[in-house]
Homo-oligomer: A and B are copies of this chain.
Amino acid sequence: MPTCDVNLVDSEKVQKVRTAIADKDTLFRMAELFKALGDPNRVKIIWALATEELCVCDLSSAVGMTPSAASHQLRSLRNLKLVKFRRAGQMVYYSLDDKHIEMLLAQGLEHVQENRR
């Protein structure tokens, strides 16, 4: 791999940083979590579910997606344990299953609002 010629400008700093950074698996799972929030429609879905428990039908109507598309996204959110669900007859009601998500959303919103173009 190409590196700088001195190889390192300040190897002490580099060493410090290396030990500070989390392990590979943790990094991967953090990225996985953020990636789940990295799509406007999923932000919408999560925001909707933060507001109200909803069945797939109402959810997809609220966020303007087809039930199929919503269902696909719900599956990945389910796999990440970000949403939970309960069946009630033909309907399946989804809601958030993670206390961090709402805080993340709130932080993200703050960031965006403080950096209006």
The interface of chain A, by Cβ under 8 A from chain B, is 1-4, 6-10, 13-14, 16-18, 20-22, 24, 26-40, 42-44, 47-48, 51-52, 54-55, 57-58, 60-63, 66-68, 81, 91, 98, 100-101, 103-105, 107-113, 115
How many copies of this chain are found per oligomer? 2
Establish whether residues B27 and A43, one from each chain, have CB atoms under 8 Å apart when the complex forms: yes
Q: From residue A79, how far is it (CB to closest CB) to chain B in Å?
A: 12
The 9 closest A-B pairs by CB, nearest first: A35-B38, A4-B57, A34-B37, A38-B38, A100-B111, A17-B62, A34-B38, A20-B51, A31-B40
In the assembled complex, the Cα of A18 lies from the Cα of B14 at a distance in Å of 48
What residue of chain B has the Cβ atom nearest to residue A101's Cβ?
A: B111
